[in-house]
Amino acid sequence: MINDRPTSARQMLHLNIYDEVSRLRAVLLGTAQSNGPIPKPEEAYDPKSLEHILAGTYPREDDMINEMEAFAAVFEKYNIKVYRPEILTDCNQIFSRDIAFVIEDKLIKANILPHREEEFEAILHVLEDIAPENILYPPEEVHIEGGDVMPWKDYIFIGTYTGQDYPDYITARTNWEGVEYIREMFPHKKIKSFELRKSVRNPKENALHLDCCFQPIGQNKAIIHKNGFLIEEEYEWLVSHFGRENIFEITGEEMYQMFSNVFSISPKVVVSERGFTRLNNWLRAQGFTVEEIPYAEISKQGGLLRCSTMPLVRD
């Protein structure tokens, strides 16, 4: 049982996520506490982690803890309610966007890699405060992770990979059944899917999730990397939708550094890695307030700021 306290005794959490940028009020932020030993190469989830495991440059736990606490301090500055997972011993719990995500007033559990199931169990204390009818458990054949899902005004953008070799890619996280499940659950929304480029060996040729090569920011702008998309017409659709003058195009190296994986606190405030000089200068030139924090060590695991968060409530 998730709920063992009477509803009247709890302060219920009213989920509200309709886009990527509205003023954030509550968020689940992952944790790097008790992150565990350096994985073996065969245990790597993605090619960037594998690269750093093999090179002996895999991030240290204390460095990652410091980076995540810098992120938490920004949330505190903006008076945002921050939930954290229960700490599991020797378990990587940084990327909370992988385990579940929110659309409108529904939290959807991701059918994640099987050995990561305990990460979901570590947020049951948050689920206790959500009405049970607002928590969705997709069927087993539905593969979908929050990094691939972006509510945006009338649309829900979804990154996917539908090649016949889907089972061969540990980096392919959202299948066509995942796209169709979201279409079924949110029939009033326009569902727009995008085929992503996948690689199990080359991190510069792998868009692990949609937010690794694209993210909307502000009211009408976006960060994007063309080569992250398998189908050029789908990339061009996004450029046309936002307007080329509103697009910040990132290079292959910048995609590798995770430039598109920033995080919006509001339409005017963006949290970004302090080393993203070209992006941060452009954001300020566009009128954004940029909260710069160190996050380069965490990026060695193939995820960054958006990956570490699960927004729960936006205005």
Is pLDDT above 60 for 8?
A: no
pLDDT band at 7 (very low <50, low <70, confident <90, very high): very low
Judge whether 199 lies within some domain. no
Q: Which residue has the tokens 């994986």?
A: 261
**Model pLDDT for residues 242-272, shown as the tens digit of each residue:** 999 999 999 999 999 999 999 999 999 999 9
DSSP 87: P
Dist. CA 161–CA 194, nearest whole Å: 8
**What's the whole-number mean pLDDT along residues 212-241?**
97
pLDDT at 168: 67
Please give the Cα distance from 169 to 113 (Å, whole number).
12
- In whole angstroms, what is the distance from residue 305 CA to residue 75 CA? 12
Average pLDDT of 171-196?
94
Give the pLDDT score at 274: 98
Task: Give the model's pLDDT for residue 113.
Answer: 67
Residue 127 has pLDDT above 90, yes or no: yes
- Express each pLDDT in 24-73 by its tens digit: 999 999 999 998 889 898 888 788 888 899 999 999 999 999 999 999 99
Residue 300 has pLDDT above 70, yes or no: yes
Is 90 exceeded by the pLDDT of residue 136? Answer: yes
Instruction: Residue 130: give its domain's CATH number.
Output: 3.75.10.10
Supply the mean pLDDT for the chain.
92
Asked whether residue 197 is assigned to any structural domain, the reply reads: no
d(CA 214, CA 258): 10
pLDDT at 233 over 50: yes
Residue 97 placed within a domain: yes
pLDDT tens for residues 193-221?
A: 999 998 877 888 888 899 999 999 999 99
Residue 164, token pair as written in the block:
């016949």
Give the pLDDT score at 9. Answer: 56
Please check whether residue 147 lies inside any domain of the structure: no
Specify if 177 maps to a domain.
Answer: no
Between 85-99, 168-182, 236-250, the lowest mean confidence (pLDDT) is in 168-182
Of all residues in the chain, the percent with pLDDT exceeding 70 is: 95
Taking the C-alpha atoms of residue 88 and residue 36, their distance in angstroms, rounded to an integer, is: 9
- Put simply, whether the predicted model's pTM sits higher than 0.75 gets the answer yes
pLDDT band at 111; cut points 50, 70, 90 = confident
> Does the structure show a pLDDT above 90 at 16?
yes
CA nearest neighbour of 134 among 95, 99, 103, 177: 103
Q: Is residue 179 part of a domain?
A: no
> Which is higher by pLDDT, 15 or 200?
15
Could you tell me the residue range of the domain that residue 108 belongs to? Answer: 11-139+211-230+238-314
- Between CA 49 and CA 71 the distance in angstroms is 21
- pLDDT (average), residues 273-281: 98
Q: Among all chains, which residue has been given the structure tokens 């398998």? A: 230
pLDDT at 167 over 80: no
Q: What's the total number of domains in the chain?
A: 1
DSSP, res 99: T
The predicted model gives 213-236 an average pLDDT of 97
Is 4 within a domain? no
CA–CA separation, 95 vs 114, rounded Å?
15
